[in-house]
Structure 1
Amino acid sequence: MLVPTIVDAGLYPRDAEAFLMSAAVTGGVGGMLFVAFRNPEFGVLDRRTGFLLTVSAWMAVCFFGALPFLFSSLDISFTDAMFETVSGLSTTGATVLSGLDDMAHGMLLWRSLLQWIGGVGIIVMAIAMLPMMRVGGMQLFQRESSDVSGKPFSRVNQLARAIGLVYLGLTFACTISLMLTGMNFFDAINHAMTTIATGGFSTKDASVGYFDSVEIELVITVFMTLSALPLVFYASIFLRGRRALAEDEQIHAFLKILLVAIVLCTVWNISQGMDALVALRVSAFNVTSILTDTGFATTDFSTWGSFAVGLFFLLFFVGGCAGSTSGAIKIFRWQILFASAKAHLKTTFSPSRVVVLKYQQRLVDPDTLGAVRNFLFIYITTFAVLSLAVMATGLDFLSSTSAIAQAMANAGPGLGPVVGPATNFESVAPTAKWLIIAGMLLGRLELVTAYVVILPEYWRR
């Protein structure tokens, strides 16, 4: 919060004061918590504590992150402040703010910082916490997340340090690349932070479409793709070379899905009368943005026709790789589900046949398969319930379903005229905004983490 305070000092005194007040409140509460719980006996001793710590930490950070929006010259409600903050920290990218082109630089930087901090927080949670808590099949990565050289990291902080270095390196490389394509430093650092976090917040109302630059779109497309890969993978490449790429099945699957989706979208746009090169350009950028759950846009793709809208809607549910900043269901779960369905079909016509289910040369035990199936059931059920609830507020079917789909996938824009890529969520009813906020948090916390804490059995000794 002190960084945007310095940025706004002089030019935007009220916003600088808002950040300073927010920093004082946050630092004061944080200091009291530090003093109260510095005793070594207060620690994450078991899985139960891990669930509560994960959920409560995210809720607390969202609340304090909303303070600058409340105190600033934006003059927005608590609902809108929480929406913008949760969207930032969950790297969703949906926004209720307009007039970004003329907004105070400190506020624009704060939005980007929220996504950048949230992005690395998501990775650490997904790699260090969720596998230990066996959430949604993430236990498959309990070994991989700490084994990049054949010698596991002895401590979680060593793993976090490696992830942090990769994260910083990608951000620096993206910033330099964007500056070389013509962006000024401020726009470059903001878009780099939100690209690497696969967040999608921009400094412009028209998003990346404002720049109308093939070079800028190409750079962001490349870095969106890189950010949707597991960050531990880059450490593996450094230590093990090409062997790391050959062994990671989810990366191969993700790149294939991305390529197929781009080709399908390009062919569809050409069939609708779009120039071939233009179709390839807009399809490659916007498909990558949605599949990686980034949320940038260069055009209103919800007007491309029914096939394109249907394709984008399905991509909301795919997402990137486990251990990346991307959201949604994740590639590895789809791989396991398809392998399970294939095995079921084989044993249907040949009941005596024994089919061994494997993922990345490891046996998928019944507990892991059950966790993946249960996660998908909870995901679809949550999507259906929240979509119906949003419809009850008066929003149309496509806007309601796409708003929840993008929220749970942490993808950014919805579809349709109300919440599409050419608009924002400012006009949505407050009740619907809180439902979308719930969807963003549930999706970011991998659902199971949040639902476990509200079970009555969780609170019983």
Structure 2
Amino acid sequence: MSLPTVRTIGFIIGLFLITLAVSMIIPMATLLLFERTDDIFAFLWSSLVTFIAGLALVGPGRPANTQLRPRDMYMLTTASWVIVCCFAALPMLLIQHISYTDAFFETMSGITTTGSTVLTGLDHASPGLLIWRSMLHWLGGIGFIGMAVAILPLLRVGGMRLFQTESSDWGEKVMPRSHMVAKAIVLVYVGLTLLGALAFWLAGMTPFDAINHAMAAISTGGFSTSDASLANWKQPAVHWVAVVVMILGSLPFTLLVATLRGHRTALVRDHQVHGFIGFLVVTWLVVGTWLWAHSENTWLDALRIAAVNVTSVVTTTGFALGDYTLWGSFAVMLFFYLTFVGGCSGSTAGSLKIFRFQVAWQLLKANLQQLVHPRAVIKQQYNKHNLDDEIVRSLITFSFFFTTTIAVIALGLCLIGLDWVTALTGAATAVCNVGPGLGPTIGPAGNFSSLPDSAKWLLTIGMLLGRLEILTVLVLFTPKFWKH
């Protein structure tokens, strides 16, 4: 990698750090509003250190006529996520007086929109810290949307090239320049966040809680302002608002923009959206009926509780409404399976994502037809796109390394000394960016604070790998990547 390329990557990361430093003004303003001035200096010093670091990287300037190649984008993507987390952890380190391991874990969980936490006593925590955790979700969510729309299709990671033609066609026909597309996505993201905050407030939350939960829901992150998560609010309206906002955060943002700009059938005609919404509704009905039959809840209450928890896990948000591990072995196993589903491509959701299951189904049908009719030429398409060999190879490779990563991390956690349920579900929830796992330790009623530091670092790596679609990080460890 040439020196001009390294300087360009450093320049871009420096801009990210300066943006991060400036964004710390919001928690400082929040502390002033709540008259909790004792924590302001933690954010002030963190902001100053982050700004100086960003300025040092931006200062030399960006080399002229230097363009990043696709291989350089792998380095930029991974380095920016790690370095931003290093500095974003400073306020938590100074306010909570926790170890840097815990601070980095919490920050990586926030910025990858995972939602796993090591903090307790959130109901009485510093408002500046609470808003900062939610902001990490929000910033990480919009960052991943940009990466999923602009970078991953270019890098041909995990079958994402399926959406490259769609994005470029949409960009050319509706908005002629890529920066206009990015601006439109940001405006929609901000608009949905504001609408979500208003809806939470009207449903019964305080304005502060409403803003925090809106940022956590639209980014499918899951950090709450209460240890009990959404169970702290008894109003059914709050729960249904959370369901709607989580779903909106899991839809393709390019299609949301296209719909708002007059292409009213953009979302309706998309196969990915059909599959996602259909899967959610069917699972709501199955789990809701199961809960109704095995509890004293009415059918409507059971459906609401099931809808919140199912949507939270499928969209990889991590909110909890009660402890679903107490619903019986069928529900526990089903929720473990739901961990791997995910939302739509080009959304803030993590995990495998619904389109990969749909493509796998198309490939299965085609292979079965080929067995019956060996000489037939079977056309393989998904969402009006041809499934060529490169897309199929990329998708299979991603799926293999996705499951292998979970298996390796789970084995490492068992080696550290965790029980197999905590190890397996902890690895799955980290790589899938879901949040809570299963079992008494890291289940929806627990958190990750009691895990040893080595386990937290291993899970942190899992969060990063899952958020960056595995291959984007793994390619950096191949010898050929470093050869010209």
Q: TM-score, normalised by structure 1?
A: 0.97
**SS of aligned partner of 1:76:** coil
Deviations 1:282-331 (A, max 9, x none): 10110011001110011001111111111111111110000000000011
Q: How many residues align?
A: 459
1:187 aligns with 2:209: yes
Tell me, in whole angstroms, the C-alpha distance in 1 between the residues paired with 2:30 and 2:273.
39
Tell me, in whole angstroms, the C-alpha distance in 1 between the residues paired with 2:151 and 2:247.
24
Shift of 1:13: 3.6
Tell me, in whole angstroms, the C-alpha distance in 2 between the residues paired with 1:187 and 1:222.
17
Q: Which amino acid aligns with 1:304?
A: W
Q: Which amino acid aligns with 2:57?
A: L
Match of 2:304 among 267, 281, 292: 281
Q: Which amino acid aligns with 1:317?
A: F
Structure-1 residue corresponding to 2:60: 36
Structure-2 residue corresponding to 1:87: 109
Tell me, in whole angstroms, the C-alpha distance in 1 between the residues paired with 2:57 and 2:177.
24
Structure-2 residue corresponding to 1:344: 367
Contact 2:171 2:181 in 1 (8 A): no
Contact 1:112 1:201 in 2 (8 A): yes
**SS of aligned partner of 1:202:** coil
Shift of 1:227: 1.1
Structure-1 residue corresponding to 2:190: 168
Shift of 1:5: 1.9
Contact 1:120 1:167 in 2 (8 A): yes
1:318 aligns with 2:341: yes
Tell me, in whole angstroms, the C-alpha distance in 2 between the residues paired with 1:300 and 1:328.
22
Q: Which amino acid aligns with 1:435?
A: L
Structure-2 residue corresponding to 1:364: 387
1:70 aligns with 2:97: no
Shift of 1:372: 0.5
Shift of 1:143: 2.1
Structure-2 residue corresponding to 1:125: 147
Structure-1 residue corresponding to 2:316: 293
Contact 1:149 1:236 in 2 (8 A): no
Match of 1:139 among 144, 161, 178: 161
Deviations 1:416-452 (A, max 9, x none): 1110011110111111111110110000000010011
Tell me, in whole angstroms, the C-alpha distance in 1 between the residues paired with 2:171 and 2:149.
16
**RMSD of aligned residue pairs (Cα, Å):** 1.4
Match of 1:17 among 41, 64, 71: 41
Contact 1:146 1:152 in 2 (8 A): no
**SS of aligned partner of 1:242:** coil
Q: TM-score, normalised by structure 2?
A: 0.92
Deviations 1:63-95 (A, max 9, x none): 1111111122x1100110000000000000110
Deviations 1:183-213 (A, max 9, x none): 1111111111111000000011101110111
Superposition map of 1:58-457 within 5 A: 58-72=81-95, 74-148=96-170, 151=173, 153-275=175-297, 276-457=299-480
Shift of 1:225: 0.9
Percent identity between the two aligned chains: 45
Unaligned segments of structure 1, at least 5 residues: none
Shift of 1:264: 1.4
Q: Which amino acid aligns with 1:242?
A: R
Shift of 1:150: 5.8
Contact 1:386 1:404 in 2 (8 A): yes
Tell me, in whole angstroms, the C-alpha distance in 2 between the residues paired with 1:82 and 1:444.
16
Which 4+ runs in 1 deviate beyond 4 A?
A: none
Q: Which amino acid aligns with 1:172?
A: L
Structure-1 residue corresponding to 2:76: 53
Q: Which amino acid aligns with 2:54?
A: G
Q: Which amino acid aligns with 2:160?
A: M
Deviations 1:151-205 (A, max 9, x none): 1644432221011011011001101111111211111111111110000000111
Tell me, in whole angstroms, the C-alpha distance in 1 between the residues paired with 2:60 and 2:362.
49
